[in-house]
A and B are shown apart, each in its own frame.
Chain A
Amino acid sequence: NAGVTQTPKFQVLKTGQSMTLQCAQDMNHEYMSWYRQDPGMGLRLIHYSVGAGITDQGEVPNGYNVSRSTTEDFPLRLLSAAPSQTSVYFCASSPRGDPRDTQYFGPGTRLTVL
């Protein structure tokens, strides 16, 4: 199993550009989520999904869109990038939306918005 994969590893955008961060898992996990990590602030939840076709907002959803058309994939879209979105983004998955489940994190994407 590859686990949770994220692409790209690094990305530089200009303000106003759009892009999609890719996340995929091959563990047949129902639950997937996106976090951002900023210096001195820990990880904060952006969006999450409890299954294909179901998504919901986390703590910091503004400026981001998600969709979940398949169990395996959970892309994160930035429609108009802003410097405040410069961060490291982590995707995570777990078997169900049960807090007893271990969440598996991807390796992260470092995004810089100029």
Chain B
Amino acid sequence: AQTVTQSQPEMSVQEAETVTLSCTYDTSESDYYLFWYKQPPSRQMILVIRQEAYKQQNATENRFSVNFQKAAKSFSLKISDSQLGDAAMYFCARGGATNKLIFGTGTLLAVQP
């Protein structure tokens, strides 16, 4: 089975500090895409960042960046200068040749003031 694993069910970070959320995946495809989605208490799924597997450069979006290690099948999310609004469930997901997404089980991030 092609899976996505998030080994940290919960994480906590102090406001203004940096936190890294881990994700590993398994795939037999050579071309695929990786995503981090944020789900706040409102339940809305919000795309945070996307990485294309054939690109070696790590994606960045403002305070959010990834560390993509293709050989290790690792895709971690770094949140810098954490804000109270970053508190949410974060899901790692993998997409392949079609747009079908396989999600991890999520990491609940708490931000302490």
Where the two chains meet, the residues of A that have a C-beta atom closer than 8 Å to any C-beta of B are: 31, 33, 35, 40-45, 48, 50, 58-59, 88, 90, 92, 94, 96-103, 105, 107-108
- Given that A41-B105, A88-B43 are known contacts, is A48 also in contact with B52, CB under 8 Å in the complex? no
- Residues of chain B lying within 8 A (CB to CB) of residue A99: 32-33, 95-99
List 13 other contacts, CB 8 Å, given A43-B101, A92-B45, A100-B52: A42-B4, A42-B91, A42-B104, A42-B106, A43-B45, A43-B91, A44-B103, A48-B98, A58-B100, A59-B102, A99-B95, A101-B99, A105-B45
Measured CA separation A103–B33 after assembly (Å) = 12
Measured CA separation A41–B6 after assembly (Å) = 11
Closest chain A residue to B91, Cβ basis: A42
Where the two chains meet, the residues of B that have a C-beta atom closer than 8 Å to any C-beta of A are: 4, 32-33, 42-47, 50, 52, 91, 93, 95-106
In the assembled complex, 10 residue pairs joining A and B whose CB atoms fall closer than 8 Å, in A order, are A31-B99, A35-B103, A45-B101, A50-B98, A59-B102, A88-B43, A94-B99, A96-B99, A97-B99, A99-B99
Tell me, rounded to whole Å, the shortest Cβ–Cβ distance linking A28 to chain B.
16
Q: Is the CB of B106 within 8 A of A45?
A: no
Measured CA separation A101–B43 after assembly (Å) = 21
- Residues of chain A lying within 8 A (CB to CB) of residue B32: 99
- Residues of chain A lying within 8 A (CB to CB) of residue B46: 105
- Residues of chain A lying within 8 A (CB to CB) of residue B95: 99
- Residues of chain B lying within 8 A (CB to CB) of residue A92: 45
- Residues of chain A lying within 8 A (CB to CB) of residue B99: 31, 33, 48, 94, 96-99, 101, 103
Measured CA separation A31–B101 after assembly (Å) = 13
- Residues of chain B lying within 8 A (CB to CB) of residue A58: 100
Tell me, rounded to whole Å, the shortest Cβ–Cβ distance linking B65 to chain A.
18
Tell me, rounded to whole Å, the shortest Cβ–Cβ distance linking B77 to chain A.
15
Neighbour of A45 across the interface among B33, B43, B52, B100, CB < 8 A: B100
Q: Is the CB of B45 within 8 A of A90?
A: yes
